Amino acid sequence: MKQYFGTDGIRGRVGEYPITAEFMLKLGWAVGRVLGNGDGQRVLIGKDTRISGYMFESALEAGLSAAGVDIRLLGPMPTPAIAYLTRTLHACAGIVISASHNPFADNGIKFFSATGTKLPDEVEIAIEAELEKPIQTVDSSVLGKAERVDDASGRYIEFCKSTIPQVLSLRGMKVVVDCANGATYHVAPSVFDELGADVVTIGTDPDGLNINRNCGSTEPSRLQEAVLRENAQIGVALDGDGDRVIMVDEKGELLDGDELLFIIARSRKKTNHLKGSVVGTLMSNLGLELALKGLDIPFVRAKVGDRYVMETLAQTGGVLGGESSGHIICLDRTTTGDGIISALQVLAPMLQEDKGLNALKAGMSKCPQHMINVPVSRRFDPDSSPEVQDAKRDAESRLAGKGRVLLRPSGTEPVVRVMVEGEDEELVREVAKDLADAVAEVFCPA
């Protein structure tokens, strides 16, 4: 069992252990010890726009230096950009200071290996083992040095543009881009602009405190309004660190990760570039599975979390997977979930088929699905409670074999996600509420 690492790195509230400057100092040292052994090794550090990023950047830098590892500072950059730059700059690891879609008072740390992929469990366990040891600083003659990478944004912008055919142009298309006042604020608008689009921006004025506030993929209402007001063809909403995307069509209707995954999968199928199974998660809408089945595209469900989607893609030989939240992985383009690149993979078939986004999504009908996040005071396994399991069985009985019920503790927030899916939307909502109330009664009694 890992003490600090969750499903996506280490995350929590700033100032509450382990999201403290003291812990980050030691974490930097531990990472340097595990991943940076050997002369000339370097680690990249990037961050989103949270005010606490300054503090944690300095602490990690000091810890890595004490371990004798050189540091390359990227400044505010999207999480997938750090994955790409870690690989192309031949670093031994990449560190991202971000809490993704969480509010500014939270922060966290994500890691990438030298190949631009998330760290395997055995490496995370090795880092935690080093955290139990006292810091031992290397000799002053071999302390790590820090430098800033000045052209990081330009490198990543060019990479994003290269993921769609060069002959495709967005000229004549109006695109509204919501950067969530996060790490993509100075990157995403440039990508779409340089591809020829008329770009309208939202959430590009970060102040350290407004990341994800009333904007971005978790709160897209402003984007929907802007798409209709500007008479735009498409809206793109990214989250605070840029690894998720949801989109808005020309009618102002939202498309979540399941619908975007369907559009990309169908496009790859048409051009004979789809390999293996498409991978979703336990939370993926049943409508996605049925729509892919209609196209003779195999579909597999993984546990929730992009690392599990990646593992399943590796097992099945697939290149495309994702989550309803908009975390989409195109392994034929990059090594991790990337909101900007995923959006471009949706734009490509729009241009190639000369169709609007509303028409492209027409091949998939979502089943009514309702999710409630139940706040809890501690992590727990729903299977450990007889009362919760009785409530779950009752919920499944009420759906009469025409739906799904899922209980899942979040790996990033102190909540339990209660998801119910079925044919009858009213029944789905009633069942979800009753099950959520049962969970709250057991684990958060008044």
Q: What is the DSSP string of 192-220?
A: HHHTT-EEEEES----SS-TTTT-STTS-
Evaluate whether residue 159 is within a structural domain: no
Among 253, 278, 309, the domain-final residue is: 253
The answer on 143 and 186 residing in a single domain is no
The answer on 351 and 379 residing in a single domain is no
Q: Kindly give the confidence (pLDDT) of every residue in the chain, 446 residues in length, as a single tens digit, with 9 standing for 90 and above.
A: 789 998 789 999 999 999 999 999 999 999 999 998 766 789 999 999 999 999 999 999 999 999 999 999 999 999 999 999 999 999 999 999 999 999 999 999 999 999 999 998 999 999 999 999 999 999 999 999 999 999 999 999 999 999 999 999 999 999 999 999 999 999 999 999 999 999 999 999 999 999 999 999 999 999 999 999 999 999 999 999 999 999 999 999 999 999 999 999 999 999 999 999 999 999 999 999 999 999 999 999 999 888 899 999 999 999 999 999 999 999 999 999 999 999 999 999 999 999 999 999 999 999 999 999 998 877 667 778 899 999 999 999 999 888 899 998 877 678 889 999 998 999 999 999 999 999 998 877 65
The answer on 357 and 408 residing in a single domain is no
Evaluate whether residue 418 is within a structural domain: yes
Evaluate whether residue 236 is within a structural domain: yes
The answer on 143 and 14 residing in a single domain is yes
pTM for the complete prediction?
0.90
Among 233, 253, 273, the domain-final residue is: 253
pLDDT attached to residue 187: 98
The answer on 131 and 32 residing in a single domain is yes
The answer on 263 and 245 residing in a single domain is no
pLDDT attached to residue 116: 95
Evaluate whether residue 163 is within a structural domain: no
The answer on 193 and 124 residing in a single domain is no
Which among 24, 21, 22 has a CA at the least distance from the CA of 9? Answer: 24
Evaluate whether residue 110 is within a structural domain: yes
CATH number, domain of 389, equals: 3.30.310.50
Among 253, 268, 302, the domain-final residue is: 253
pLDDT attached to residue 8: 84
For 404-428, give one letter per residue: b (16+ CB within 10 A) or e. Answer: bbbbbbbbbbeebbbbbbbeeeebb
Q: Answer for the pair 202, 221: CB distance below 8 angstroms, yes or no.
A: no
pLDDT attached to residue 419: 93
Q: Which residues are catalytic?
A: 100
Q: Which residues contact 338 (CB under 8 A, 6 or more apart)?
A: 78, 80, 83, 160, 242, 243, 328, 330
Tokens encoding 444: 């958060």
What CA–CA distance (Å, rounded) separates 303 from 306? 9
The answer on 406 and 338 residing in a single domain is no
The answer on 116 and 26 residing in a single domain is yes
**How many domains are contained in the chain?**
4
| Residues across the chain | 446
The answer on 249 and 280 residing in a single domain is no
Alpha-carbon distances of 240 from 201, 203, 209, rounded to whole Å: 15, 10, 12
Evaluate whether residue 160 is within a structural domain: no
The answer on 137 and 26 residing in a single domain is yes
What CA–CA distance (Å, rounded) separates 249 from 234? 5
pLDDT attached to residue 383: 78
Evaluate whether residue 208 is within a structural domain: yes
pLDDT attached to residue 204: 98
pLDDT attached to residue 39: 67
The answer on 196 and 141 residing in a single domain is no
CATH number, domain of 38, equals: 3.40.120.10
Element (H or E) spanning 53, and its range? helix 53-66
Tokens encoding 211: 């990341």
Structural domain boundaries, residue 267: 256-366
pLDDT attached to residue 262: 98
Evaluate whether residue 156 is within a structural domain: no
pLDDT attached to residue 446: 57
